[in-house]
Structure 1
Amino acid sequence: MKTVLLIGIGAGDPEHITVQAINALNRAQVFFILDKGYADDELLRLRTEICQRYITAPGYRIVVVHDPQRKADPLSYQRGVERWHEQRAVLFERLIDEELRPDETGGFLVWGDPSLYDSTLRILERVLSRGAIAFDYQVIPGISSVQALAAQHRIPLNRIGEPIQITTGRRLALDEGANVDNTVVMLDAHSAFEGFLGRGLHIYWGAYLGTDHEILIAGELDEVCEHIKHVRQKARQDRGWIMDAYLLRKLD
């Protein structure tokens, strides 16, 4: 039977790769890489570099395909995501059907960890539920941007006996009235932290974590908010994309 591996490759540093991930890389004959369509796709190059660095088995091949772009639905965020996931499921189904021979193993190189704010696992399950093709799949965990953020700022994610929340920028913006403490925020396209000024919060922010272009800023949110927004905007303009995350924490 065909097998698909979802391999977590870390937050950006090629040395984030685990021994388990290296072994998985050397099991696969085909790697599916989604091209996001950036003019200078550093994420695609990093995936290719990881293959070249760690794969010793001969004869593997890389299949690069255009990733369907998610189009926002003005009436329903969930409906827009659902439509995008269906487009991806159709694409994944075709790749597994046409590019993998019987008994071959294919791999998706997943940024960070496949279980944390990544849709690849969910889409593979959708492909199986469609019933057109059959395959087995395995998940190889990776170092997430959340772990990289804490390591680079040299902080624990939680304080003694306290919980930690992981959410998105969209959800944070909807919860402006909520009590925020020990909250990690990912996928924030609009600097939702700005809505939490004046609440005695500290922010640990990082972009391009684990890469040569890593940026780290930490301080009282009221004092560094505008600086982060400026740095964030300039970085996006310079590179054409940005991946960032941050921790909001009540000051002691």
Structure 2
Amino acid sequence: MSILDVVRGAATVLGMDMPTLVFGATNREMVEMQELVNVMALEVAKAHDWQKLLIIATFTGDGVADAFDMPSDYRRMQKTSSLWSSRWRWATDHLTSPDQWLELQVTPVAAVNGYWIIFGNQFRIWPSMASGETVKFFYLSNEIVAASDQSKKTSFTEDADTFRLSEDLLKKAIIYRWKQNKGQAYEQDFDDYQELLLRCMDDDAGSKPIISGQPPVSWRGRRVTWPGSVTGAA
């Protein structure tokens, strides 16, 4: 469904004349709509860690570099993401304080784990990755729109563009925010949007098997493993 079709669907609810184009139109309603569809598309994208926007990034060490540029379409990391290195048996530790990072640089300590931080719009990893060592992590792409040739971009610019997430959800978002901006009653439309948003978020996560009894301990969070087997005393 193109963004023109989405706007035409919203127009029937908002009591507008049926538009023949959105981008390229010069009347005030459609100029406002051009801005609104991009604002609400971004709001929908930010509402959840949508699996369709998830991408795995890989950094490869050269034995020297400790700073790596963010992917060109990087918006943010998944809220639960860790950096996983081929060197360590567990996730590298995220340092949220710049002072902690400086402490690693100036204090003579032996590394027993990897560490990372983001500053200067780069990922910084310590100790420096060995040549051929890799680090992988999930991030969310900012390319939420697909063009007619299926290339991806960050915003709508043409009527043939499509939303990579739920178009019904975008339509409901446009309706409630348009009414809100115009001082009209929008509460029911907002509730409808919120209800659909929650359903889409629930569907996006995949299956939810029910496990009876004590669930198995996840590998995530472990720091020590014994590589052999343990037997009882003779």
Q: Same fold (TM over 0.5)?
A: no
TM-score, normalised with respect to structure 2:
0.25
TM-score, normalised with respect to structure 1:
0.24
Structure with the largest fraction of helix: 1
Structure with the largest fraction of strand: 1
Q: Which has the higher contact order (CA 8 A, sep 6+)?
A: 2
